[in-house]
Amino acid sequence: MNTAIVIDTSREIPSKWYGLYNIFPVGYIIEDSSGEKHIEQTQIQSVRTPDLVELVCADRKSKLLAPSIKDFVELYTYLSENYDSIISLHSSNITPAVFENALVAKKLVSEVIIDVIDSHTFGASSGIFIEELAKFIIEARNINEIRKEAISLNKHISSIILSKNDQLDTIGLRKGSWYSVLTTSLRPYVLYQEIQGNWETLKRGRNFNSFVNEIIKRIEIVNKAKEIKTAYITHHGVFSKNIKKIMKIVSNSNVVETNPSLVTHYLLGKNYLDFAFLC
């Protein structure tokens, strides 16, 4: 199959995978408090997310705008010149507005076979999903095989997330725009575990060192019981110093440290830790 993979940039993967697996990102737009718009994707396979994350940190009233139907139509049409089929990977749970725009765009482009595949993953877990499915697509014989593999990956990828967003179980970019979650020093941290799209609140508190120890303990238990094959880590703020402790536990695994996406930053705030794994 001569297949291109389309993702929105909420999918957190290293940019080096783009050329290796024929992955093409559709970016978001930041509208700052003055009304000026900043485009994340400047050209095919080129994004400047870190710059925009810093803009969001400085301007808490900035708004995140989802990729439009037009964005998807333009990319699908461009790819139809060189590929026989397109697999477009998004999340109806985390970013339903983006997922719906991809579905509408699919109907408007007839020059190429397009399949829009859903995943509950986001942040670090979405990175594992994209990498593993991209590897599978290279050898896949038909779209049904790809769909089955996507379902299997959705079942087996889990994540542990520490954030000050106490409503992570009700997340979702329901509309075409999104304001950042407000996090203050008075707001407690919340530790979540996500399995197969279901969110469980594990612990609340303000001492982040105790949370780091809790995360390490949980990862050690999982790794001893099942052996973690692949792990993705995304973090921002005060937890950066603790990453080495966590990475030592999974040193024998395929470990990838990724930069935060705009969607993750808007959901989780300035200080968070996102550890996803596949056993």
Distance CA 25, CA 13 (A): 10
User: Residue 212 and residue 233: Cα distance in Å, rounded?
Assistant: 13
Q: 155, 177, 205 — which closes off a domain? A: 155
| 8 Å CB contact between 190 and 166 | yes
pTM of the model: 0.88
**Residue at which a domain ends, from 138, 155, 172:** 155
Count of C-beta atoms within a 10 Å radius of residue 139: 8
Report the distance separating Cα 62 and Cα 198, nearest Å.
Answer: 29
- Identify the CATH number of the domain in which residue 260 sits: 3.30.1180.10
Which of 99, 132, 155 is the last residue before a domain boundary?
A: 155
79 contacts 24 by C-beta, under 8 angstroms: yes
How many structural domains are present in the chain? 2
The pLDDT, as a whole number, for residue 252 is 77
Per-residue pLDDT reduced to its tens digit, 95-118: 888 999 999 999 999 999 999 999
* pLDDT tens profile 143-154: 999 999 999 999
**What single letter denotes the amino acid at residue 274?**
D
**What's the mean pLDDT when you consider all of the chain?**
85
Q: Is the pLDDT higher at 49 or at 144?
A: 144
Across 173-191, average pLDDT = 64
Name which of 199, 144, 139, 197 is nearest 168 in CA terms. 199
Check pLDDT > 80 for residue 180.
no
Using CA atoms, how far apart are residues 55 and 38, in angstroms rounded to an integer? 10
Range of the domain at 40: 3-155
Task: Dump pLDDT digits (tens) for 213-272.
Answer: 899 899 989 888 888 999 999 888 777 777 888 888 888 778 888 887 888 877 887 788
- The token duo for 263 is 């969607």
Burial class (CB in 10 A: 0-12, 13-18, 19+), 275: buried
- For residue 184, pLDDT over 60 is answered with no
Give tens-digit pLDDT for 122-162: 889 999 999 999 999 999 989 999 999 999 999 999 999 98
Quick one: 131 and 214 in the same domain? no
The answer to whether 62 and 28 have CB atoms below 8 angstroms apart is no
Pick from 198, 222, 127, 204: nearest CA to 166: 204
**Are residues 111 and 17 part of one domain?**
yes
